[in-house]
Structure 1
Amino acid sequence: MLRLAIWDMDGTIVDSRDVIQTAMTRAFEVQGLTPPPYDATRRIVGLGLRESCQILAPDDLGPERVDALVEAYRDAFIARRTDPDFREPLYDGAIETLQMLRDTGWLIAMATGKSRRGIRAIFEMHPLESYFDTIWCADDGPGKPHPFMVEQAMGALGAEPHQSLMIGDAIHDIHMGRAAGVRTLGVSWGFGAASELSAAGADEVHHTYATLAGSLGQFGQA
């Protein structure tokens, strides 16, 4: 049976909590604005960058200032990545789970709010690229929670919704997967709380890669 696992990246495979909050804080400071707390930042992860900045910015911030905030974030993100002590680790169990999927004949896709440049930076840091059969990101079309990326992943690999599932840590991943008609697996170790993922309609919520891998092993077996 054809099986397709569509993965989010930030907060699901890669622990990017530090770099995202640090870059957002710096961007707001550069623009003379009060930085958002982590609890606010975590809720926008997965959305497009401009939409994220617009949500976090004061309501009276005009379009030009929002554009400047976006550029400040990009600059801060790149600067953080060039720090000698920079580390954006994989979550324990991520590589092993991807390898298990590869060994058991799954197709594997990525649907991420990252840019192509951001994806490339992750691939240069970690040996992930060979696991993905198709990659869809913020540069390709409508972002989360629009179903575009999931639909494109399925179309590229010839999979139907009943053969596919979406794995992610944010409610935007769950909404995107549900809009595309696929099974949704939330993970609680990233940016979204388990209760939020459940309320968003996740079919399952996992707290460890071990239970996630076990569920993946059962998919399509009934």
Structure 2
Amino acid sequence: MLRGLIFDVDETLVYYEGYNHRDWYEEWVKPELEKHGIALDYETYRRTVTGELPRSYVERFGIDHVEFWKLVDRVNLSYRQEMARLGRIKPFPDVSALKELRNLGLKLAAVSNASQDCTEFVLDLFNLRGYFDVVYGKDYSNLDGVKPNPYLVEKALKALNLKPEEALMVGDSAHDVLAGKGAGLRTVNVTRFGKVEGADYYVKDLWELVELVKELFSKRSPEV
């Protein structure tokens, strides 16, 4: 029985006009790291973000890895605040479907590899946080627990008091599919930017997700 949905945030609910990961790193993060005497090239940074290298790898550059990621996240929050001021963070037009999903009686969670502050900032920007029972950004006590690791998804399941078979993981990326699968959930790929291999379901937008949920409800076995 489906009782809940766990959502990715960036590129699933909101997007950033003109965003390029390398440009963001070179223009926003790298100068701040250099102020702290840290010379870290983009490729090494990228490999820690994608999980090719552990997040603690940065300690070889002379900084505690938790402090490093807190520094990056402060820069990221400043970036988001500036993009918001410029009107370059946008909600996808179908986020209004979250209200319908709540009306169907589902529990909702949001999980993001961004920090808690960054995640809450963009949700609050468009009054979306109220749709969610729980919101989780990266956990500094388990920095390698970001997606594709299932840790954040499992954390949300526990908070919602749901079993894996009672929830769907909804996101735009391979990391979302892998994290959901790793936690034992069926996964939904929102194909705004193309299909990701391995998802259980594919929807073009969140209104199509509503229709999928209704279809899954209709297939429930009648109670005896």
Q: TM-score, normalised by structure 2?
A: 0.74
Matched residue, 2:98:
98
Aligned to 2:191: 188
Contact kept, 8 Å, 1:2 with 1:159, in 2: the verdict is no
The CA RMSD measured in Å over matched residues stands at 3.4
Q: Which has the larger radius of gyration?
A: 2
Instruction: Say which SS state the counterpart of residue 92 (structure 2) adopts.
Output: coil
Report what 2:180 is aligned to: 177
Gaps of 5+ in 1: 45-49
How many Å separate the matches in 2 of 1:66 and 1:54?
Answer: 18
Q: How does 1:1-222 map to 2 (within 5 A)?
A: 3-16=3-16, 18-19=18-19, 21=21, 22-27=23-28, 30=31, 51-52=48-49, 63-64=61-62, 71=71, 74-75=74-75, 78-79=78-79, 81-82=81-82, 84-95=85-96, 97-139=97-139, 141=142, 142-190=145-193, 193-194=194-195, 197-198=196-197, 201-222=198-219
CA 1:162–1:128: 2 relative to 1, 3 Å: same
Q: Give, as a single letter, the amino acid of the residue that structure 2 aligns with 1:117.
A: D
Q: Say whether the 8 Å CA contact 2:77–2:118 is kept in structure 1.
A: no
- The answer as to whether partners of 2:2 and 2:165 remain within 8 angstroms in 1 is no
TM-score, normalised to structure 1, is 0.75
CA positional deviation for 1:116: 1.1
Q: Is the 8 A contact 1:28 1:35 kept in 2?
A: no
Q: Unaligned 5+ residue runs, structure 2?
A: 220-224
Matched residues in 2 for 1:147 and 1:205: separation? 20
Q: Percent identity?
A: 25
